[in-house]
Structure 1
Amino acid sequence: MIRYIRWCAYFCALLLVALLVNVGRVQVWEAAGYGANPANKRPAIERYAEPRGDITVDGRPVTGSRDSRQLLRYERTYKNGPLYAPVTGFASQTYGTSFLERAEDPVLSGTDPGLSAFPLWYELSRGRPGGGDAATTIRANMQLAAYTGLAGKRGAVAAVEPATGKILALVSSPSYDPAVLSGTGPKVKEAWEKLNADPAKPMLNRALRETYPPGSTFKIVTAAAALDAGVVTDVDAPTETPDPYPLPGTSTLLPNAGTGCADASMADAVQWSCNTVMAKIGVQVGLRGMTEAARRFGFNDAGLRVPAWVSRSNFDTDMSPDQLALSSIGQFNTKATPLQMAMVAAAVANGGELKAPYLVDRTTQDDGDPVRRADQRSLGRAMTPLTAMRMQELMVKVVEHGTGRNAAIPGAVVGGKTGTAQHGVGNAGTPYAWFISWAKPEGGRPPAVAVAVVVEDASAVRGDISGNGAAAPIARAVMEAALSAR
């Protein structure tokens, strides 16, 4: 009898071991598979069981959380949603996240290991700390000035601090309210479909993700390349450029929008935006020199993150001389984001050094204790200090005596460059109006801000002067807001 009891005990022990092995298999080896199974609602329930951390501007939250009392409990809310949508993006229980909501999701959702001194404890207890906060570099008054200036017109504004790379304003218009995408159900689905079907593309972040022909604003890059390469040693010397200018190797004549560009100096060409002179100078610099100069300013960099990814701005590396001439005045295949053109202005303002732009100053725990602080990085020198000084002088003349007078600010030194970018089949599309600029208080203080503005549906004026009419006043409002904070 004892023997049968012993065998029964062995069998029960074997069953217990098999049970433990199976539990280990499910909880260790197959846990990831079960966790990723679409039928498993636990990760989603846990994700929205607690309020999400906030994104802040000037120390004040522009996001929040609302208790929906549903299975996915906390929904995202937004303050001034359309104003800050290009910064925050959306956090949707149905459609995921975008922009800062995505880039800083581990901190905001409470899953970042840096949120706790004992992250292993949360692993063992299957809990998590409260969501942390992400403090942006955005200035509320500058953001509002840019948004108000665009007034619903299609376009974008990017403003950066030249000495640090901080993004001070980031506006895309028309915009949308991310709150309409926060929850679940038919209303959210309807809002998503409506936004994606809108021909104005309100969910497109034009400041970071759209690339435009930069038009004559790119002449700043060409002029800097010419000075650095020694192609131009005297900015006031005549360039012996005919008007119109025959594109090399072709019978096509490149005209100017205005008069007085025949044999103009490079200084006059920047001041009055002469296509002929700058196209010829670009050809003289050569493909290699122009390609390298564009790269130093940030073109052709597909890895730029702020921390959301930024579309690659393009300057072709394989072109014929006539194509190079057009590319040197911001046409042909040359494309740039508004942030990229703000970086061009910032490099000039910062003595030639280009700082990496960034949007998040620091992340913190829910009680305010620091998690990470942004590191300021240099992307290298876009031009020599001497060239930067000369370019500053040329850009100031554009505002004081040239095509950018609408950007002038009493009591401040302002440098700028207008641009009108042709596009469409046969250049039939309404030109894009551009203005890039920088500003500093009088008295030798460092530049406070560099700005780029593009307006897609500006008045269809064929000439760089339209950048002065449509885009320069917006840039001036943003620069005034930056200077008022100093």
Structure 2
Amino acid sequence: MNRTIRRAGTVTLLLVMALMVRLTWVQVVHGEALADSEDNRRNTIEQYANPFGDIIVGGKPVTGSKRTDDGDLHYQRTYTDGPLYAPVTGFSSQVRGSTQLEGIYQSVLDGTDDRLKNPADLLMGKKAKPGNVLTTIDPGVQRAGYKALGGKKGAAVAIDPANGKILGVVSTPSFDPSTFAGSGKDDAKAWNKLNARSGGDKNDDQPTLNRALRQPVPPGSTFKLVVAAAALEDGLYSSVDVPTRSPDPYTLKGTSTVLKNENEAAPCKNATLRDALRYSCNNVFAKLATDLGKDKVRAQAEKFGFNDSKQDVPVRATKSGYPEKMDEAQTGLSGIGQYDVTATPLQMAMVTQAIAHGGELVDPHMVSQVQDSGGGALRSFEDPASHRVMSESNAEQLRSAMETVVEQGTGSNAKIPGATVGGKTGTAQHGVDNSGTPYAWFTSYGESSSGKQVAVAVVVEDSDAARAEVSGNGLAAPIAKSMMGAALG
């Protein structure tokens, strides 16, 4: 054989072998990664080849699917009352992916989850029928909160204290996920318009931000409940009716800064915890936090859920924070929910949830069951974990003091005829030199004559009210009242 031909044959053989090795390497080592890649168009085609399963609220689907003629993607997501339930469902878009429950349970809803397949499906590599996600959301509570918030920028969360079921997750302004669920020009236009309202400027609406779960802001005086719990648990005061040793006004320790009360005529000097909550006395709780020390206050806050970076409901909530490094003056400010203390509405609802449930906090969750197409449970959340936050007797005392806040104090707008209501108002300052519009807070619980309970937290970040008129009782308490009323019937 000609030497040149022999050499050419050898080179060709080596090239073929190298190609086979490379092909084997890609298929065996990188095959799964390539198949799961976001850039693999086949995954998107498969995902939108058939109708989806649904997210269920109150026994009815709030999602759907419709046939589309846009190229090779045959179905797209639809939403019933999209803006109302967007903080629960999130969105599913052919172009922009999925968020919240749509994203967490995507494989169940699009039928690719292996738990949905029978042995024959697994053997043949066949796609199964999609499953459904059953939520704990009460449509009446959700609608009451959404309607009451109206055009205000804010959020609200309602929880059943006995079992941790989240009955409402409201965030305004909201958005309609249906408008950009597809891949057409109108969808792109709707998405761009939505993004123009979410640029990060302080005046932006940020409608896609779930304020109920992912917008921690200063909780203001609602945090005084945590400090009061810490004082009772520590034994600093044996009862909510024991006078505290609190000068009025109070000078922050180590400074010449005098901390005044919003209502300077209120009887806050040496006030009991009951009266300090009733009149929202800054001097009492700043001194309490300083006397307890930052470590004890932080320990109590963390029992309620602060500083938990893995709070899943199952949507991951942003951490509510209580600082670790503070001097005594900063610790005093933390006692009134200022300095670097932050909380989401979910977190403050958890505080009142635990107080209402005798000092025991049941893990909050907004999914009760994940089901296959036949209604069989793939996963159930009916038996959530719980832990004790404070003693039953101390929780009972705090409930009594919170009821005084509503009946005789700053939370009068939350009264519900025929129901027992306890609450705490808050007005939190923010911005450079407190230049921002104050946040109006209200956190509360309600109990019907039959013993049914609900815990609610509301924050109004911005409204049409004049700065001087911003208050927890004026803006947030009526919203909480609407949600509690809907929950208690």
Written as runs of structure 1 = structure 2, the 5 A alignment for 1:140-289 is: 140-198=139-197, 199-258=204-263, 259-260=265-266, 261-289=268-296
Q: Is the 8 A contact 1:165 1:376 kept in 2?
A: no
CA distance in 1, matches of 2:275, 2:30: 71
CA distance in 2, matches of 1:298, 1:161: 17
What is the aligned partner in structure 2 of residue 317 from structure 1? 324
CA distance in 2, matches of 1:265, 1:201: 42
Distance apart, 1:34 and its partner CA: 4.0
Written as runs of structure 1 = structure 2, the 5 A alignment for 1:424-435 is: 424-435=431-442
Q: Is the 8 A contact 1:353 1:378 kept in 2?
A: no
CA distance in 2, matches of 1:103, 1:36: 16
Q: Is the 8 A contact 2:240 2:398 kept in 1?
A: no
Distance apart, 1:379 and its partner CA: 4.1
Identity within the alignment, %: 49
Distance apart, 1:299 and its partner CA: 0.2
* 1:338-370 Cα deviation digits (max 9, x unpaired): 000000010000000011111110011122222
Written as runs of structure 1 = structure 2, the 5 A alignment for 1:69-468 is: 69=69, 70-118=71-119, 121-198=120-197, 199-258=204-263, 259-260=265-266, 261-442=268-449, 445=451, 447-458=452-463, 459-461=465-467, 466-468=471-473
Q: TM-score, normalised by structure 2?
A: 0.91
* 1:371-404 Cα deviation digits (max 9, x unpaired): 2211433342111111100000000101111110
For residues 34 and 467 of structure 1, do their structure 2 counterparts lie closer, same or farther at Cα, with a shift above 3 Å needed? closer
Aligned length: 464
Q: Is the 8 A contact 1:55 1:88 kept in 2?
A: yes
Q: Is the 8 A contact 1:156 1:338 kept in 2?
A: yes
CA distance in 1, matches of 2:25, 2:389: 57
Q: Is the 8 A contact 2:121 2:127 kept in 1?
A: yes
Distance apart, 1:133 and its partner CA: 0.4
What is the aligned partner in structure 2 of residue 4 from structure 1? none
Q: Is the 8 A contact 1:408 1:476 kept in 2?
A: yes
Q: Is the 8 A contact 2:456 2:480 kept in 1?
A: yes
| Counterpart residue type for residue 233 of structure 1 | S
CA distance in 1, matches of 2:229, 2:308: 19
For residues 462 and 231 of structure 1, do their structure 2 counterparts lie closer, same or farther at Cα, with a shift above 3 Å needed? farther
Q: TM-score, normalised by structure 1?
A: 0.91
Contiguous gaps of at least 5 residues in structure 1: 1-16
Q: Which moved more, 1:365-374 or 1:388-397?
A: 365-374
Distance apart, 1:266 and its partner CA: 1.5
- The answer as to 2:478 corresponding to 1:473 is yes
For residues 18 and 283 of structure 1, do their structure 2 counterparts lie closer, same or farther at Cα, with a shift above 3 Å needed? closer
CA distance in 2, matches of 1:133, 1:320: 51
For residues 189 and 233 of structure 1, do their structure 2 counterparts lie closer, same or farther at Cα, with a shift above 3 Å needed? same
For residues 317 and 129 of structure 1, do their structure 2 counterparts lie closer, same or farther at Cα, with a shift above 3 Å needed? same
* 1:224-275 Cα deviation digits (max 9, x unpaired): 1000001112322332322221000000000000022222222100011011
* 1:434-483 Cα deviation digits (max 9, x unpaired): 0000011126x2x52100010111434559x8111101111011011011
CA distance in 2, matches of 1:38, 1:148: 38
Q: Is the 8 A contact 1:409 1:480 kept in 2?
A: yes
Q: Which moved more, 1:17-26 or 1:298-307?
A: 17-26
Q: Which moved more, 1:393-402 or 1:184-193?
A: 184-193
CA distance in 2, matches of 1:212, 1:352: 25
For residues 215 and 38 of structure 1, do their structure 2 counterparts lie closer, same or farther at Cα, with a shift above 3 Å needed? closer
* 1:60-111 Cα deviation digits (max 9, x unpaired): 0000001103311110000000000000000011010001001111211112
Q: Is the 8 A contact 1:94 1:184 kept in 2?
A: yes
For residues 134 and 244 of structure 1, do their structure 2 counterparts lie closer, same or farther at Cα, with a shift above 3 Å needed? same
CA distance in 2, matches of 1:462, 1:319: 30
Q: Is the 8 A contact 1:114 1:371 kept in 2?
A: yes
- Across the aligned residues of Structure 1 and Structure 2, the Cα RMSD in angstroms comes to 2.1
For residues 92 and 394 of structure 1, do their structure 2 counterparts lie closer, same or farther at Cα, with a shift above 3 Å needed? same
Contiguous gaps of at least 5 residues in structure 2: 1-16, 198-203
Q: Is the 8 A contact 2:361 2:388 kept in 1?
A: yes
CA distance in 2, matches of 1:37, 1:323: 48
Match of 1:482, SS? helix
CA distance in 2, matches of 1:214, 1:462: 18
CA distance in 1, matches of 2:25, 2:323: 54
Q: Is the 8 A contact 1:50 1:130 kept in 2?
A: no
For residues 40 and 113 of structure 1, do their structure 2 counterparts lie closer, same or farther at Cα, with a shift above 3 Å needed? closer
For residues 71 and 383 of structure 1, do their structure 2 counterparts lie closer, same or farther at Cα, with a shift above 3 Å needed? same
